[in-house]
Structure 1
Amino acid sequence: MKKQEILTKIRNDNYSKIKFAVADIDGILRGKYIHKDKFFNAVDNGLGFCDVIFGWDCADKCYENSEITGWHTGYPDAKATVAMETFRQIPWEENTPFFLGDFSNDPKYADSACSRSLLKRIASQSEELGFKPIFSQEFEWFNFRGTPNEIAESDYTELHPITPGMFGYSILRTSLNQPYFNDLFELLQQFNVPLEGMHTETGPGVMEATVIYDEILAAADKAILFKSAVKEIAYKHNFVATFMAKWHEKLPGCGGHIHQSLWDLDKKQNLFYSSDSANKMSTTMQHYVAGLLKCLPEILPMFAPNPNSYKRLSGGDWAPRTLTWGIDNRTCAVRAIPGSEKSTRIELRVPGSDTNAYLALGASLAAGLYGIKNKLPLDTAPTKENGYLETSNGVLPDSLEKATKKMANSEIANQLFGENFVKHFTKTREWECQQFERNNLHEELKRYLEII
């Protein structure tokens, strides 16, 4: 729908309130309900949010190392812009109108802290180079019985998955909780976050779903909304859904793999496909893969943002730590998927489901474009066997502390995202490292289970 059509619909239909949300640095939606008269004013003039949303962590504890906001600034308002193209209605809330927003028109925050604004800049750079990025993120997540209160009252020690055992691609397990799975598929479709597919993964109570691909900003919007919507739909069934990267040391982690390709600006030609090249991979695709491999160690916190993320990146567990690529090889960091002109793409397997989609998708695109702009050669052979054992091209940092220090001092990171963003983001990751003793899974459960 066009802007004027949306405004006419909201003006004429019997709505008393509109729901509006923005993403913080962790990808958590922070929002409010507003009267529709206030909404019309916000469309023209923006909507104020206390800028503490950029000055606190996922537990609402204020950063003590932030420079752009804090007690020293008095936490003024930041001006959010309504992204009209994100309009949808919430089917589990009587079709309440919903919009996402960002701070693209407020330079102080757009430059340093707003993840959606960062993605918009990177997407614009891509189009200036003649590339239309088409992306999708897939998610794995665990589901538990009970309410948030009940789980918190047990001090996170009584976690009961909604199904037992290890049973990937199970038809039985989906039937066992059919009302929940039907709601996920159907309500997400109505919410304009359509799923390409959904199935059980290996592990008790774990699911996997892929959101249908789209242009990168819309794809990231849908990925952000997918996680929040799944949690809300789970509440309806007395379940709690978690997107933690690794909630249990003896069970598989949760991936947030990113599928991606570059097309011409008219979206008629997949620029990753070449019928004349080896493996059908164009030179553009080869440069892109080389850029990912070059940049990954420099910007890893964009894909693994929490201490818990690194429990998943442990050298196996379907989550690579090695700087490898391969043809349809799921043990590699970068899985090239050559096929038809329509389907040829790359799957980045490093990110977990705990990512902020705006940062993860944006970082992946920026790294690939770095390879193209610098014409980086793909001079490592594709890994044909177990990529977890192939360390000749290097390995990723094994903790958030190490990864954050590397990114904070990285010329590549500053080039890709700008010094202001890198400075603020790495300070938030330094803070995250300081919030509990390293390798304390119980504290990680209390911090991340529901909110991330």
Structure 2
Amino acid sequence: MATRVPKEHPALAAIRKSGASKVKVAVSDIDGILRGKYLHRDKFYGAADSGFGFCDVVFGWDAHDNCYDNTTVTGWQHGFPDALARLDLNTHRQVPWDGNVNFFLGEFINADGSPFPVCPRQTLKRVLKRAEKLGVQPMTGMEFEWFNFVETPQSWAEKRGVAPTPLTPGMFGYSLLRMADNRPFFNALMDEMLAFGVPIEGLHTETGPGVYEAAIAFSDALEQADRAILFKTGAREIGKRYGIMPSFMAKWNQQYPGCSGHLHQSLSDGKKNLFYDAKSPRSMSKLFESYLAGQVACLMEFAPMFWPTINSYKRLVDGFWAPVKPTWGLDNRTASFRVIAGSPKATRLETRCPGADVNPYLAAAALIAAGLHGVEKGLKLTAPPITGTNQGADNVPRAPRTLIETTRNFRESAIARDWLGDTFVDHFAATREWEWRQWQDAVTDWELKRYFEII
């Protein structure tokens, strides 16, 4: 009997056929920044087969490459060795703005092939594996708001981080006129992101100078997180062609609304939306109610995963659109959890807490874990919906206003440890504590303006 030769993955076959000389690969660090490199085609084929070494410093330093002094998984004490990165061949796409170079996302594994415990993509996959055991498939869609500036890295460095120039003036949401001011950039986002495998359902201007909002097409949760992290990087790379610097900071200016990273969610059995129930007065299934009850009850225990920076908490201002209490409402944009209940296809939950500064893998992992906790425990939705602007939320505690408060809660959370593992919780909490200490040591322009002359 002839030996059957395993069929080569279509992505590999396509690259061999094209004769491409190089491939681009990337992995997510803790902050959701893509760290990557080009690989020669021969190196790539080996990496595709058995993985490749990638310095584990990507989990041992912050957004500005300063090494943490309080982590144990990686650090100076280990000498920053290579960790094993594995490419996900199903993430294959070509980069339209980089000569259509072939591109893959990767994730980290241990030597025995098990998931590397602090890898963000693996953290989301851990949650999704537990969802699979429950017989459900989380489906998600992310929305990002972000400001755009007429800056380059050089001009921004010369300004020393002060007074960036917005792309357009004024507060002009849903403006066709402002879209026309930078039509080539606007169209490039729509067209090139689609060619990159990141389809955008809608793109429009938001309220604020130079601010846009994009909604990424709904998909399974892992694919959505991949699309989201690629969108943020891709928008920055496309912007460079036009002298535009996008910023996904949660709140860049006290005068203007912050930037959200809303996450829409539903659960599927592979055929239908399990959140919909035509017999329910609200069209909400009991499963949907338990999922929502889980988020209402314990989402704040995961807060550093969707409010990950010092700046995240500047967005949580009363009356500025960002919800500040764990409340839910029926099609109410002032609530943290907006229930959109109607047709079998469209019924879903929009969690409005996260900002645009999230690591998409970690934000999705946190939200889905909180919801599935409610499903596992069969939680009842006892909290009534709010109406208007937080009407009915008088006795609901406000969200913490600092990263260190949420980090301490996260570190002590038995639910977070159950879903994410002790190693991840301890490591991520340490990275947020580091971030807090950097802020504590900083002397800001606010302090200079307030105290320099007078005190």
TM range (shorter): over 0.9
Q: Contact between 1:323 and 1:391, CA under 8 Å: does it hold in 2?
A: no
Selected match of 1:412 from 408, 412, 415: 415
How many pairs does the alignment contain? 440
Percent identical pairs in the alignment equals: 48
Selected match of 1:322 from 301, 325, 331: 325
- Structure-1-length-normalised TM-score: 0.95
In structure 1, C-alpha distance between the alignment counterparts of 2:205 and 2:355, rounded to whole Å = 17
Local SS of the residue matching 2:64: coil
In structure 2, C-alpha distance between the alignment counterparts of 1:388 and 1:25, rounded to whole Å = 37
Deviation of 1:390 (Å): 2.1
- Matched residue, 1:8: 13
In structure 2, C-alpha distance between the alignment counterparts of 1:316 and 1:106, rounded to whole Å = 50
Selected match of 1:255 from 252, 260, 277: 260
Local SS of the residue matching 1:387: coil
Selected match of 1:189 from 194, 214, 227: 194
Pair 1:166 & 2:171 matched: yes
Deviation of 1:442 (Å): 5.7
Q: Contact between 1:252 and 1:317, CA under 8 Å: does it hold in 2?
A: yes
In structure 1, C-alpha distance between the alignment counterparts of 2:391 and 2:239, rounded to whole Å = 34
Deviation of 1:132 (Å): 1.1
Q: Contact between 2:174 and 2:205, CA under 8 Å: does it hold in 1?
A: yes
Q: Contact between 1:331 and 1:388, CA under 8 Å: does it hold in 2?
A: no
In structure 1, C-alpha distance between the alignment counterparts of 2:398 and 2:111, rounded to whole Å = 38
In structure 2, C-alpha distance between the alignment counterparts of 1:433 and 1:115, rounded to whole Å = 20
Local SS of the residue matching 2:90: strand
Any idea what the Cα deviations from partners look like across 1:98-145, whole Å, max 9, x if unmatched? 000001455799353101001111111111111011101100000000
Residues 281 and 181 (structure 1 numbering): CA distance in 2 closer, same or farther, change over 3 Å?
A: same
Moved more, 431-440 or 158-167: 431-440
Q: Contact between 1:400 and 1:429, CA under 8 Å: does it hold in 2?
A: yes
Deviation of 1:3 (Å): 5.6
Pair 1:302 & 2:305 matched: yes
Any idea what the Cα deviations from partners look like across 1:302-353, whole Å, max 9, x if unmatched? 1100010000012331111111000000000100000100000000000000
In structure 2, C-alpha distance between the alignment counterparts of 1:88 and 1:430, rounded to whole Å = 36
- Matched residue, 1:135: 140
Residues 10 and 184 (structure 1 numbering): CA distance in 2 closer, same or farther, change over 3 Å?
A: same
Any idea what the Cα deviations from partners look like across 1:214-238, whole Å, max 9, x if unmatched? 1110000000000000000001100
Q: Contact between 1:315 and 1:388, CA under 8 Å: does it hold in 2?
A: no
Task: Extract structure 1 runs of 4+ deviating beyond 6 A.
Answer: 438-441
- Matched residue, 2:29: 24
Larger Rg computed on CA atoms: 2
Deviation of 1:412 (Å): 1.5
Q: Contact between 2:139 and 2:268, CA under 8 Å: does it hold in 1?
A: yes
Deviation of 1:44 (Å): 1.2
Q: Contact between 1:80 and 1:106, CA under 8 Å: does it hold in 2?
A: no
Residues 442 and 260 (structure 1 numbering): CA distance in 2 closer, same or farther, change over 3 Å?
A: farther
Q: Contact between 2:84 and 2:109, CA under 8 Å: does it hold in 1?
A: no
Local SS of the residue matching 1:137: strand
Q: Contact between 2:385 and 2:392, CA under 8 Å: does it hold in 1?
A: no
Q: Contact between 1:3 and 1:84, CA under 8 Å: does it hold in 2?
A: no
Q: Contact between 1:81 and 1:105, CA under 8 Å: does it hold in 2?
A: no
Q: Contact between 1:272 and 1:285, CA under 8 Å: does it hold in 2?
A: yes
Moved more, 433-442 or 209-218: 433-442
- Structure-2-length-normalised TM-score: 0.94
- Matched residue, 2:161: 156
- Matched residue, 2:98: 93
In structure 1, C-alpha distance between the alignment counterparts of 2:151 and 2:124, rounded to whole Å = 36
Selected match of 1:110 from 102, 115, 130: 115
In structure 2, C-alpha distance between the alignment counterparts of 1:414 and 1:362, rounded to whole Å = 13
Local SS of the residue matching 1:34: strand
In structure 2, C-alpha distance between the alignment counterparts of 1:383 and 1:438, rounded to whole Å = 40
Any idea what the Cα deviations from partners look like across 1:3-49, whole Å, max 9, x if unmatched? 62211111121311100000001110000001010000001110111
Pair 1:400 & 2:403 matched: yes
- Matched residue, 1:363: 366
Q: Contact between 1:118 and 1:417, CA under 8 Å: does it hold in 2?
A: yes
Moved more, 145-154 or 100-109: 100-109
Q: Contact between 1:145 and 1:161, CA under 8 Å: does it hold in 2?
A: yes
Any idea what the Cα deviations from partners look like across 1:235-284, whole Å, max 9, x if unmatched? 110010000000001111000000000011x2x21100000112101100
Q: Contact between 1:296 and 1:396, CA under 8 Å: does it hold in 2?
A: no
- Matched residue, 1:34: 39
Counterpart of 2:90, as a letter, is: E
Local SS of the residue matching 1:85: helix
Pair 1:283 & 2:286 matched: yes
Q: Contact between 1:322 and 1:391, CA under 8 Å: does it hold in 2?
A: no
- Matched residue, 1:386: 389
Moved more, 93-102 or 105-114: 105-114
In structure 1, C-alpha distance between the alignment counterparts of 2:290 and 2:213, rounded to whole Å = 30
Residues 255 and 16 (structure 1 numbering): CA distance in 2 closer, same or farther, change over 3 Å?
A: same
Local SS of the residue matching 1:435: helix
In structure 2, C-alpha distance between the alignment counterparts of 1:111 and 1:30, rounded to whole Å = 16
Q: Contact between 2:152 and 2:240, CA under 8 Å: does it hold in 1?
A: yes
Any idea what the Cα deviations from partners look like across 1:50-72, whole Å, max 9, x if unmatched? 11011000000000001011111
Pair 1:311 & 2:314 matched: yes
- Structure 1 unaligned segments of length 5 or more: list them: 444-452
Deviation of 1:158 (Å): 3.2
Q: Contact between 1:112 and 1:424, CA under 8 Å: does it hold in 2?
A: no
In structure 2, C-alpha distance between the alignment counterparts of 1:180 and 1:409, rounded to whole Å = 45
Selected match of 1:199 from 204, 211, 218: 204
Selected match of 1:45 from 27, 50, 56: 50
Deviation of 1:395 (Å): 2.0
Local SS of the residue matching 1:124: helix
Residues 162 and 63 (structure 1 numbering): CA distance in 2 closer, same or farther, change over 3 Å?
A: same
- Matched residue, 1:65: 70
Local SS of the residue matching 2:229: helix
- Matched residue, 2:213: 208
Q: Contact between 2:56 and 2:80, CA under 8 Å: does it hold in 1?
A: yes
- Structure 2 unaligned segments of length 5 or more: list them: 1-6, 447-455
In structure 1, C-alpha distance between the alignment counterparts of 2:192 and 2:394, rounded to whole Å = 44
Deviation of 1:371 (Å): 0.3
